Structure 1
Amino acid sequence: MKIRLTSVFVDDQAKALRFYTEVLGFVKKHDVPVGETDRWLTVVSPQDPDGPELLLEPAGHPAVKPYRDALTADGIPLAQFTVDDVRAEHERLTALGVRFTQEPLDMGPVTAAVLDDTCGNLIQIVTQPQDQ
């Protein structure tokens, strides 16, 4: 069994695509119209273009807003991405105007920071030791 696809709910797919590609550095993999306004829109890591996909899923379902609002209010990230160096990535993203809700923090074997993806989610970035 492998993880092939996971998703984050987004308020605006076009805005999310810009943020996840132009700011975070992912690349678009699939962009297929679904209905009148929605799309099957996925991004992947440029380092692993055939790896797991992240679906930028429309947040239209009524359960999404209270779920995301509760997570955000408690400071809980919806997703986590691994980076080579959290502190360097924090500097790069801050220079691009990204708002962090948690600055880089050493937490045992990992260093983590939490950012606002501008689309309704908190995202955690972490650096893990190479042997994990």
Structure 2
Amino acid sequence: MRINITSIFVEDQENALKFYTEVLGFEKKTDIPAGDFKWLTVVSPEDRDGVELLLEPNDNPAAKTYQRTIYDDGIPTTSFVVDNIGEEYERLKNLGVKFTAVPTEMGPVTFAIFDDTCGNLIQISQAK
């Protein structure tokens, strides 16, 4: 068994696609109409056949409540690994990304947390 797709709730799929591709650097993999929304996924350009991230609309009261609650509690929705957290932090900051936690060492990892502009906090981390 392996993970094929994981999802993240987003307030607006087109804005999310723009942020996740143009700012974070992921690539669009799947874009299929699905009623009022899309089956819209992105992948790492380093692993196009790897795990896909589904940009799932939060058009459901339970999804909106979940998303808002974990955001308000400061909990990241997901985590992405980076090779050099200092460089990635500076790159994203220079692109206007708002961080809620600067790079912080915690045991065997260094992490930072940012707002994805789509209703989520996202963690980036680098192992020591």
* TM band (smaller chain): over 0.9
Paired residue secondary structure (2:42): strand
Is residue 2:71 matched to residue 1:96? no
- Please give the secondary structure, in 2, of the residue aligned with 1:92: helix
Distance apart, 1:113 and its partner CA: 0.3
Partner in structure 2 of residue 60 of structure 1: 59
Where does structure 1 lack aligned partners over 5 or more consecutive residues?
none
Letter in 2 for 1:55: L
Runs of 4+ in 1 over 4 A off after TM superposition: none
Give, in angstroms, the shift of residue 43 of structure 1: 0.3
Rounded Cα–Cα distance in structure 1 between residues aligned with 2:86 and 2:63: 31
Is 1:13 aligned to 2:47, yes or no?
no
Spell out the pairing of 1:1-132 with structure 2 (5 A cutoff).
1-35=1-35, 37-129=36-128
Q: Kindly provide the CA deviation profile for residues 40-63 of structure 1, in whole angstroms up to 9, marking residues without a partner as x.
A: 000000000000000000000110
Aligned length: 128
By how many angstroms is 1:65 displaced?
Answer: 1.6
Shift of 1:74: 1.3
List alignment gaps of at least 5 residues for structure 2.
none
TM-score (norm 1): 0.95
CA RMSD of aligned residues (A): 0.7
Taking only the aligned residue pairs, the percentage that are identical comes to: 59
What's the CA shift for 1:86?
A: 1.1
Alignment partners' CA distance in 2, 1:64 and 1:104 = 29
What is the distance in 1 between the residues matched to 2:28 and 2:42? 4
- Secondary structure (helix, strand or coil) at the match of 1:98 reads coil
Q: Which amino acid aligns with 1:58?
A: P
